[in-house]
């Protein structure tokens, strides 16, 4: 592969929404109020800034131009996962899932978007205190909450197959820094694997667990197809328990009669797979056509990957009545 400059590697792929720069005039939710993003700031001594002691979610809002409606995809499930992430690092989130959903809908209404959006809630240790302890002793290290939104199109180029590599960086282990939680500090692990892949000319990376088995992508889940069946790493393989992952498993079974095997995946299975694809809130459904300079299947996006991708985009834009309950309307 040809090495890329940092500028080339960081060039965004989005065509529909401009997110090269964040609009600081957008409204955010911070400190219990709706305020311009430019005013939503934390002190440099904030515990989460010093130690990475926070969790976050990534939620998509899809704009249906025909209906002039914004649909937030599986928002409740994302906020349920946010609550679970909080439990992992002793964050005291004082908002219920329903309250978080209501705040998010109101925030989206105030920003009046007319393109696909990304929603980023953060829950974090907000104390001005030195020392890594997560204990909120005498109220000295309270929990903060922020939610912001921004335009976002394609996180990776899903119009063609991705060429990815197996990273030299292992995925963080559950008993060290659990990957099943979206913990801010743990995403340095994702940053290392993705950055090295980009700078060596790949589109992204696949990471292995410490025992050498396939975990997931740099910041997304992974599926392979063998003999017409979907295979994905189990939840005990140091993966994020992805909501898009669960969506794909359900859609594949309900709509195409395709079962999913959740099990360990050897590295070499990647090289003999018929198809492969990433999935996640950012990645959506992204076919992989090369891994470590080896073609996957025919070297083109596979039939199963493509039909799951097409169905997924119909579902998230509220075009499938059967799954409309997954789509929260804003307007």
Confidence bin at 273 (pLDDT 50/70/90): very high
Catalytic residue among 4, 76, 87, 182: 182
User: How much of the chain exceeds pLDDT 90, in percent?
Assistant: 91
Measure the CA–CA gap between 198 and 187, rounded to whole angstroms. 16
**What is the arithmetic mean of pLDDT over 73-98?**
98
Ramachandran sector of residue 165 (left: φ over 0; alpha: ψ -120 to 50; beta: rest): beta
What is the number of other CB atoms lying within 10 angstroms of the CB of residue 120? 15
| CB burial of residue 256 (10 Å; 0-12, 13-18, 19+) | middle
Active site residue 182: yes
Residues in CB range of 54: below 8 A, 6 or more apart:
48, 89, 91, 122, 123, 124, 125, 183, 184, 185
pLDDT tens readout for residues 45-63: 999 999 999 999 999 999 9
Q: What is the pLDDT of residue 154?
A: 77
pLDDT score recorded for residue 14 = 41
Residue 62 forms beta bridges with which residues? 71
The pLDDT tens digits for 156-201 are: 777 789 999 999 999 999 999 999 999 999 999 999 999 999 999 9
Query: 9 falls in which pLDDT band (50, 70, 90)?
Result: very low
Segment 16-28, tens digit of pLDDT: 455 457 899 999 9
Distance, CA of 43 to CA of 154 (rounded, Å): 32
Are 320 and 314 in contact by the 8 Å Cβ rule? The answer is yes
Q: What are phi and psi of 60, to 5 degrees?
A: -100, 140
Which domains, and CATH codes, for the chain? 17-151 (3.30.470.10), 162-316 (3.20.10.10)
Residue 140 token pair: 């000295």
The pTM score is 0.92
The answer, yes or no, to whether residue 5 has pLDDT greater than 60, is no
Region 95-107 average pLDDT: 98
């Amino acid at each position: 592969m040809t090495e890329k400059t940092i500028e080339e590697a960081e060039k965004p792929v989005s065509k529909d929404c401009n997110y090269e720069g964040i609009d600081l005039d957008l409204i955010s939710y911070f400190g219990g109020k709706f305020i311009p993003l430019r005013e939503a700031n934390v002190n440099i001594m904030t515990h989460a800034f010093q130690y990475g002691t926070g969790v976050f979610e990534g939620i998509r809002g899809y704009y249906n131009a025909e209906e002039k409606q914004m649909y937030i995809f599986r928002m409740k499930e994302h906020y349920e996962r946010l609550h679970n992430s909080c439990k992992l690092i002793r964050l005291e989130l004082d908002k219920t899932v329903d309250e978080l959903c209501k705040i998010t809908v109101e925030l989206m209404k105030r920003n009046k978007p007319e393109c696909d959006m990304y929603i980023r809630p953060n829950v974090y240790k907000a104390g001005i205190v030195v020392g890594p302890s997560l204990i909120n002793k005498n109220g000295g290290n309270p929990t903060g909450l922020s939610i912001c939104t921004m335009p976002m199109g394609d996180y990776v180029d899903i119009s063609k197959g991705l060429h990815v590599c197996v990273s030299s960086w292992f995925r963080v282990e559950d008993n060290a820094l659990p990957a099943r939680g979206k913990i801010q500090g743990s995403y340095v692990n994702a940053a290392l694997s993705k950055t090295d892949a980009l700078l060596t000319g790949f589109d992204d990376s696949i990471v292995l667990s410490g025992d050498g088995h396939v975990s997931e992508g740099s910041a997304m889940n992974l599926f392979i197809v063998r003999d017409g069946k979907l295979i994905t790493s189990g939840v005990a393989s140091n993966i994020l328990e992805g909501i898009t992952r669960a969506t794909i498993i359900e859609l594949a079974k309900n709509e195409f009669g395709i079962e999913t095997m959740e099990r360990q995946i050897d590295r070499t299975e990647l090289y003999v797979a018929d198809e492969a694809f990433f999935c996640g809130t950012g990645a959506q459904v992204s076919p992989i056509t090369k891994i470590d300079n080896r073609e996957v299947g025919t070297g083109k996006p596979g039939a199963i990957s493509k039909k799951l991708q097409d169905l997924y985009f119909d579902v998230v834009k509220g075009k499938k009545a059967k799954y409309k309950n997954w789509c929260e309307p804003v307007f």
